[in-house]
Each structure stands twice: as C-alpha cells, then as structure tokens.
Amino acid sequence: MERLHDACGIVGIFARVSGESIDVRRYLTLALTSLQHRGQESAGMAVYLSDGRIASRVGMGKVREVFPDTGTGLPDTHCGIGHVRYSTTGSSCVENAGPFVVGTDPNHYEAIAVAHNGNLVNGPALRAQLPQELLISTTDSEAIALLLLHAGGPSLRERMISIFPQLRGAYSLVILAEGKLFAMRDPWGMRPLCLGRIGENWIIASESCALDRLGASFVREVEPGELITIDEQGVHSEILIRMPRQALCVFEYIYFSDATSRLNDRYVYPVREALGRELAREHPIEADLVVPVPDSSIPAALGYAEASGITYGHAIIKNRYSDRTFIKPDQRLRQLEVDLKFNLVRPKIEGARLVIVDDSIVRGNTMKRLVAALRHYGAKEIHLRSSSPPLRHPCHFGIDIPQEVELVAAGRSVQEVADYIGVDSLGYLSIAGLGRAINSTERNILDDD
C-alpha cells in the first residue's frame, strides 16, 4: 500500500590481492540489485584506482537501468562502494545521487567517496559550516564527505574519529579512500549494517540479503558506534562509543528490510509472522478469509491466519509491472498508480467476510480506494488489521514521513480512521505486541511517540 520508505541501501566490497579473484564491479551490481527495495530513484558506484583517484558513475533509475553493463564500464578495481537511494531529504535529482566523491582537485592527495543510509538531524547546520561553493547537492552524504575532506588528521581513520561527535542522527556509512574500505554505524544502531566474507574478500552491506545474493557468508553485524577499517591485512575494528541501549528502527522488521534478511540475530520473515500472530490475539474477529496486501504483508497475514484459525487466501494480486506506491516521491504519481497496482479475485471476495492484513497504514488513501474496490466486488464485511502501531508523528531519522498532516492516524481516533477508510473494523498492533513479536523490550524499540 502507501509505504514508509527508508532512505538508501549501501554496500562496500574489498577484494584482497592475495585472495580469490572477484570482479568487484559485478559483485557491487548484484549486491545493489538485492538492496533495490531500499531505494529505486537512483543508483551509483565508486571504485578506487591505483593512483589514488576514484572513478564513479551515478544515474537516475534502478540498478539495471544505470548499470546495464553490470558496472564493467568502470575501471577494474580491488575496492568499491555502491548506493541506491530514495529521497527522504533533498530532492530527487542526479545531483543528489550517491556515492559522493570529493577531493578530486590537485590540492588533495587522495579522493574520498561516501555512501550513506540515514538522516542527520543536524545536517543543515553542518552544511552551513562548509564552504558553500563546494556544495553541489542538498544531501547529508555530501556534507559527511566534505567534513572528512577538511577534517584534521593524517589518515582517514583519524578524520573519521574526529568528525564522529559532530554526526547526530541515524547513519550507516561505507567510505572509500586510501585504497581501503571503511564502515561506521551511529551509536544507537538505528540503521542496519552487516559484515560478510567471500573467501578472503570482504563485504559490508545494509542487509544480509545482499550477502546471500553474492554467496557470501554472514560474519556479524557492524556494532552501533563501531568504526571498521578493511585493508589487505584484514578487518580492524574499534568501538568509538557504547550507548546504554540500542535503537534499531522497528520498521526494519515491519517493512523496510527484505524478508530473508537477519537483524540482531533474528530473521525478518518469522518476526513478521509473529507480528501477525500477536495481531490476531489482540484483535480477533469472525471472518471467512485472511487476505494479505501483497507482498510485504504476506508473512503477517499467515501469522494472523495461523493464530485465528481463519482460512488464508489471496484475493488481492499485485500487478508485477507496477512499482511500489510509496517509492514515488510525488503524491500525484502515487494516486495515479493506485488503480494499476492490484488485481482483485472476485470469487474470493464476493459475499465474503474479509480480514485485510497490511504492514502499515500511512496516508490511508490507497487503502481507501482498495476498500471501495473490494466493496464493488461484493465483499460482505471488511476488517482491516495493521501489523504496526498507528503512525501519528513524523520521523527525522531517514524515513519518508515529512509532515504530520499527511498521516491518517494523526489527530484521529481508531474509529475515525476506520470510518475514513471505509472498513467495518480496524485494529492496530500495540507497541507491547510489537515488542513481544520481536522478542525485545519496549525500551529497545525506536518509535516516534
């Protein structure tokens, strides 16, 4: 339906000279393709050259559109980073596409490339401190790259440590410089980042599904507040700060991450099934069919059906040639695409009492139109269940919820939301139920209440 969406997916690969030979460019393309769900507006790669320069290519569109040559148009390399983007801050244009490369002028010995997932709450203040003539975009990623370029310290590692206290908000970073690959995660661990291995070669990625795509082994998650340096000698780790708790964004479990990924040693798919089971316990109803809104709500709907004993079935079929509604930053485009997004199965709908399970209810506009279509097809009753709590406030850590006024639950009771959408009943999963499903305590769940 109308989705929340995360800012970006990032990946970095370091191929040891002494290790098994791999084509870093092709591997970056494959990894980025597996992270395409994290951003479909733009894609880019940056690769390190032996003379200290960095070659890059960025473009608007999906990975296969920007890199039909699977990256082989870039120079061969032992080290590179990649980025797919959805604009949560900054406009949707090629100037804001990453990775960002700085330090290419003769006054700097080595160039730096940065790919960033998240959002800095003090990004505008940091940008105001930088030489304005150097800024070509409106993104935090460029600000981080320029901060590194102008920071004190003879090595990039020392410069990263020096700017670390200035970065406030959510960030996972992969950085290319000095012939090395660097990675850093914010102290709260709001955005995911993991480390994998392909023989003697190393990969850093937003999600473990990218490792699976490459046939890489999962080593571990990058810890909150950790700085990793990868060079020919291997992986070097240092914890810059430890916070009393972690705050991974709960929507990574609910929607953002691929269902096959793992977060905090839990696979996402069974967590989503558990969300559905908790939802059934909290909001039972007599009905004939549990129906997921495809595709991300399927595990939760299966869990709901299992716990409730109601038959599970597909009455809403996703049109495979229609992109995600929420991936489009223009609301007018979202509305125009709603009617193309789903096909309905009349025999499953006509005369039936339906439980529609969705992972979240954002603006409510798409669901309102879907419910009207289900009524038109003869649904007897429609009961909507959301496997996330109601969204009432914007997020400033890299999720596309720019204004509170856009959220259907803001300023409305549950019954008022149900009336607006046109359903017979509406049930949201509670924060307590969310915590039980994730097998976590409520204090470790990052929400925006």
Lowest mean pLDDT across 68-77, 153-162, 329-338: 329-338
Which CATH architecture best describes the domain 271-440?
3-Layer(aba) Sandwich (3.40)
Banded pLDDT at 7 (limits 50, 70, 90)? low
Mean pLDDT of 300-327: 85
In this predicted model, what pLDDT tens digit does every residue of 398-407 receive, in sequence order?
666 657 878 9
What are the extents of the domains in the chain? Answer: 8-247, 271-440
In the structure, what pLDDT confidence band is assigned to residue 152 with cuts at 50, 70 and 90?
A: confident
**238 within 8 A of 255, measured Cβ to Cβ:** no
**Are the CB atoms for 38 and 208 separated by under 8 Å?**
no
Write out the E strands in 192-281: 194-198, 201-205, 217-221, 226-231, 234-239, 262-263, 266-267
Three-class SS of residue 243? coil
End-to-end CA distance of the chain: 23
| pLDDT band (50, 70, 90) for residue 17 | confident
Q: What is the mean pLDDT of residues 118-140?
A: 90
- Indicate the range of 126-130, 190-194, 325-329 predicted with least confidence: 325-329
Number of Cβ within a 10 Å radius of residue 86: 24
Antiparallel, parallel or unpaired: β 226-231 and 234-239: antiparallel
DSSP structure class, residue 424: S
Q: Is there a catalytic annotation at residue 8?
A: yes
Is pLDDT above 70 for 368?
yes
Cα four-point dihedral sign 280, 285, 287, 293: negative
Average pLDDT over residues 101-117: 80
Q: Six-digit token pair at 200?
A: 């003697």
Phi, psi (5° rounding) for residue 314?
-105, 105
Mean pLDDT of the chain: 90
Alpha-carbon distance of 302 to 284, in angstroms, equals 14
Phi, then psi, of 271 in degrees rounded to 5? -65, -40
Strand order of the β-sheet with 169-177 is: 100-102, 112-120, 169-177, 180-185, 226-231, 234-239
Token pair, residue 282, equals 């909290």
Contacts of 231-235 spanning 24+ positions with Cβ under 8 A? 231/14, 231/179, 231/180, 231/181, 232/16, 232/17, 232/18, 235/195, 235/202
Give the helix/strand (H/E) hosting 273: helix 268-282
Q: Please state the φ and ψ torsions of residue 6, each to the nearest 5 degrees.
A: -80, 165
When pLDDT is averaged across residues 225-246 and rounded to a whole number, the result is 96
Distance CA 185, CA 172 (A): 4
- Predicted pLDDT of residue 223: 98
Asked whether the predicted pLDDT for residue 105 surpasses 70, the reply is no
**353 contacts 423 by C-beta, under 8 angstroms:** no
| Residue range 421-426: mean pLDDT, rounded | 98
Mean pLDDT of all residues in 293-321: 95
Q: Is the pLDDT of residue 338 over 60?
A: no
The pLDDT of residue 397 = 75
Q: What is the rounded average pLDDT of the residues 247-270? A: 95
8-247 classified as CATH 3.30.460.80: no
Confidence grade of residue 176 (pLDDT, cut at 50, 70, 90): very high
Extract the tokens encoding 93: 């244009």
Better-scored residue on pLDDT, 138 or 254: 254
User: Nearest Cα to 15, choosing from 75, 81, 79, 72?
Assistant: 79
pLDDT exceeds cutoff 80 at 106: no
Q: Is the pLDDT of residue 334 over 90?
A: no
Q: Which of 237-246, 247-256, 374-383, 399-408 has the lowest mean pLDDT?
A: 399-408
For residue 153, CA distances in Å to 120, 129, 157, 164, 225 come to: 23, 19, 8, 13, 20
pLDDT at 36 over 60: yes
Are 83 and 44 within 8 A, CB to CB?
Answer: yes
Average pLDDT over residues 297-311: 98
- Mean per-residue pLDDT, 93-102: 89
Average pLDDT over residues 312-319: 94
The pLDDT value given to residue 441 = 40
Q: Which residue has the higher pLDDT, 439 or 254?
A: 254
By mean pLDDT, which of 18-27, 57-66, 197-206 is the weakest? 18-27
